[in-house]
Structure 1
Amino acid sequence: MILFDLDGTLVDTAHDLAYALNLQRVRHDLAGLPLEAIRPYASHGSKGLLSIGFNLSETDDAFAIMRDEYLAIYDEVLTRKPILFDGIAELLTTLEVNRIPWGVVTNKPRRFTQPLMQSIGLLTRAACVVCGDDAARPKPYPDTLLMACKQAGVSPEDCWYVGDAERDIQAGKAAGMQTVVALYGYLSETDQPLVWAADHMIQLPLDLLSLINLKPATLS
């Protein structure tokens, strides 16, 4: 089974995450930030977005209130413009044609993940969709990855996990899976994927197929 992180790996959600952040900034009489400035933080949830948007950390008194405000805004716009990364549609079709199940393991809460997956037509195609609040410990712990294996009936050693953040690789390794860094994702200038010690790195989604010895299927 191939398991994917969601934001920055399977789906390009940066446009909607940034749109929500800029709506929040306007509420607080601040100018919007360019997408290019926000994009590297898009895989790090509200913690990362509030750091770039308002220079807030989890230890700040205002963080919890601002986080709740941001999530309420995002809840209204999360299906505005989500798009699959180039090659993802072909990759998923190829996996399905070859009867290789695929699923999603994300730290994104289920209240956002389920409608997002539904809006792009992937919810019923995935063998499993496990969210950050489905287990006591989200990534970098392996709990959600192991939960996905149990749901799909696949052993962890028969799974590959693809993600664009260090916590993805940490969780995959802790679960005993093959790990793959999606270099096309939301990596920032300070990220050091070579240090993460993943088993593989890919520049494009379809690069995964050569790693598992498959040829791309033709989309109908």
Structure 2
Amino acid sequence: MPTSSFLPIKCVLFDLDGTLLDTAADLLAALNAVLHSEGREPYTLAQVRHTVSHGSLGMLELAFGLAQTAVEITRRRAVFLDYYQAHISTHSRLFETMPAVLAALEAARIPWGIVTNKPEYLTFPLLANLKLDTRAGCVIGGDTLAVAKPHPQPLLLGATRCGVAPQQCLYVGDAERDIVAGRDAGMTTLIAEWGYLNANNEHHHWPADGSIANPTDILAWLH
């Protein structure tokens, strides 16, 4: 729970995959498209869930190991991203109870936004398909700036676009880079335990201000 040392929160910023949206099934489908193209057996959601936050390269490493050549990685990643772009929102949805959280923020006139390492060409269509693009106070992609998380600059830009000082922003994420970026930006940080966390519980050692099990727990940090 927050302590009296925290400034009042006037803006909530979210990581995208594994925090705001459950995108694992669509990313799994893209990986399985690559595997199918090479005559390999498909993976299950349970096999890839803890790797989703590492993006296409992390998922390809999981499936094909570290011995891939540069040519193989380039070819496989192209198949992965082409498939994913064409099926980007087939199964992706807000995490359970997240709709209520966003509605509560909007009712309280607290802006919320997205700071992700997902590139803009994938982020914007995904949000548009889910009708979230016009609701977010800011959308910062992994290539909006020359740097991405764990660098704090994307979060600082998000705060600026929402018109709120970084010290009055809350950043919620499910990867260590999220917590490091939020801390270095001077924001309050929360670990999203419902996200794509590593199975070995490394998140217990991340430098976060708190760790929450359900999106609705965010609301307790707004006072």
TM-score w.r.t. length of structure 2: 0.91
Structure 1 residue 22 displacement after superposition: 0.4
Moved more, 29-38 or 182-191: 182-191
- Rounded Cα–Cα distance in structure 2 between residues aligned with 1:27 and 1:89: 37
- Rounded Cα–Cα distance in structure 2 between residues aligned with 1:95 and 1:86: 16
Identity percentage of aligned residues: 43
Q: Deviations over 1:125-162 (max 9, x none)?
A: 00000000001110011121111112122111110100
Matched position secondary structure for 2:143: helix
Contact 1:47–1:57 (8 Å) recurs in 2 = no
Aligned pairs for 1:5-16 (under 5 A) are: 5-16=15-26
2:82 to 72, 83, 87: 72
Match of 1:94 in 2: 104
1:105 to 98, 112, 115: 115
Pairing 1:173–2:183 present: yes
Structure 1 residue 62 displacement after superposition: 2.6
Q: Deviations over 1:11-38 (max 9, x none)?
A: 0000000011101100011010111101
1:47 to 46, 53, 57: 57
Matched position secondary structure for 1:42: helix
The change in CA–CA distance for 1:128 and 1:58 in structure 2 (over 3 A counts) is farther
Q: Which runs of 5+ in 2 are unaligned?
A: 1-10
RMSD, aligned α-carbons:
1.5
Q: Match for 2:36: what amino acid? A: V
Contact 1:50–1:56 (8 Å) recurs in 2 = no
Matched position secondary structure for 2:191: strand
2:199 to 171, 189, 196: 189
Aligned residues: 213
Structure 1 residue 63 displacement after superposition: 2.1
Q: Match for 1:13: what amino acid? A: T
Contact 1:50–1:57 (8 Å) recurs in 2 = no
The change in CA–CA distance for 1:59 and 1:155 in structure 2 (over 3 A counts) is farther
Greater RCO, 1 or 2 (C-alpha within 8 Å, sep 6+): 2
- Rounded Cα–Cα distance in structure 1 between residues aligned with 2:60 and 2:186: 33
1:164 to 157, 163, 174: 174
The change in CA–CA distance for 1:138 and 1:58 in structure 2 (over 3 A counts) is farther
Match of 2:137 in 1: 127
- Rounded Cα–Cα distance in structure 2 between residues aligned with 1:57 and 1:182: 32
Contact 1:104–1:128 (8 Å) recurs in 2 = yes
The change in CA–CA distance for 1:99 and 1:210 in structure 2 (over 3 A counts) is same
Match of 1:148 in 2: 158
Match of 1:218 in 2: none
- Rounded Cα–Cα distance in structure 2 between residues aligned with 1:75 and 1:57: 26
Moved more, 147-156 or 26-35: 147-156
Matched position secondary structure for 1:181: strand
Contact 2:183–2:207 (8 Å) recurs in 1 = no
TM-score w.r.t. length of structure 1: 0.92
- Rounded Cα–Cα distance in structure 2 between residues aligned with 1:57 and 1:43: 21
- Rounded Cα–Cα distance in structure 1 between residues aligned with 2:206 and 2:146: 24
Match of 1:21 in 2: 31
Matched position secondary structure for 1:132: coil
